[in-house]
Amino acid sequence: MYNLKPEIFDFNTVKGISKKQLDEHYKLYTGYVTKLNEIWNTPYVPSNYTDNNPTYSKMRSIKLGETYSIDGVKLHNLYFENMTGGNNTPCGPIFNAIVNEFGSYATFISYLTSVGLSMRGWAILTIDSIDRKLHVTGSDSHDNGAIWQSFPLLIMDVYEHAYFMDFGTDRKKYIATFIENINWDVLNQRFEKYILQSQFMDMNKGRYCPYSLY
Ligand SMILES: [Fe+2]
């Protein structure tokens, strides 16, 4: 029985975005958690999965809701985590990697901002498994444009629900405010986690499996 709970974040540490805006956003996030529990608690009985038409069916509805809610939960967990808690001075190995990859911090911010302005859902700093380099990817919704085997480091929500209450249509100002709230300790912890995991996967020649084989 799944009973996933929303994570708790300290919104008092966020500067320039109102508590009301953040609380309303958090409510949406808790809704994704609720729906994910509901979907994952759907029993494996034929009456739940034999209606499977690809245009419209019970199974199709469940599967579309599943990817949307899983990614909605994961992305918001990462987003709220990397914008709360202070530690807002760019620093550490991830900062060095960003400067190395994008040429300068200013260029990175300019690029991240532009990606954020161009998308309807998310802008994400990630390390991809193909080249193991930093990329800023974008998506129009939680599960549209998602990339598999790509490790997310910095998540920026650019849905209108993330800023419209405080910033109206001025998404650029919201993005600038979000950037000032980035928790660089969180980014460095994620970066370190990726490095350690990738070293482990290299040791096992990429055949990583979460289950014990013995
Ligand atoms: Fe959101």
Task: Using the mean position of ligand 1's atoms as its centre, give its distance from the Cα of residue 203 in Å.
Answer: 37
What is the reported pLDDT for 198? 84
Structural domain that includes position 35: 17-81
Average pLDDT (178-187) is: 98
What is the reported pLDDT for 2? 95
pTM for the structure as a whole: 0.94
Domain count of the chain?
2
Of the three residues 61, 81, 101, the one that is the final residue of a domain is 81
Same domain, residue pair 97 and 179 = yes
Same domain, residue pair 122 and 193 = yes
Task: Using the mean position of ligand 1's atoms as its centre, give its distance from the Cα of residue 29 in Å.
Answer: 7
Tens-place pLDDT, residues 34-52: 999 999 999 999 988 999 9
Between 196 and 119, the more confident residue is: 119
- Evaluate whether residue 214 is within a structural domain: no
* Position 20 pLDDT exceeds 80: yes
Task: Using the mean position of ligand 1's atoms as its centre, give its distance from the Cα of residue 208 in Å.
Answer: 31
Same domain, residue pair 66 and 23 = yes
Report how far residue 36's alpha carbon sits from residue 2's, in angstroms, rounded to the nearest whole number.
9
Q: Which residue has the tokens 């708790």?
A: 8
Of the three residues 81, 101, 125, the one that is the final residue of a domain is 81
Task: Using the mean position of ligand 1's atoms as its centre, give its distance from the Cα of residue 204 in Å.
Answer: 36
What is the reported pLDDT for 168? 98
Same domain, residue pair 122 and 165 = yes
* Position 204 pLDDT exceeds 80: no
- Evaluate whether residue 117 is within a structural domain: yes
Same domain, residue pair 47 and 103 = no
- 160: exposed, middle or buried (C-beta count within 10 Å: 0-12, 13-18, 19+)? middle
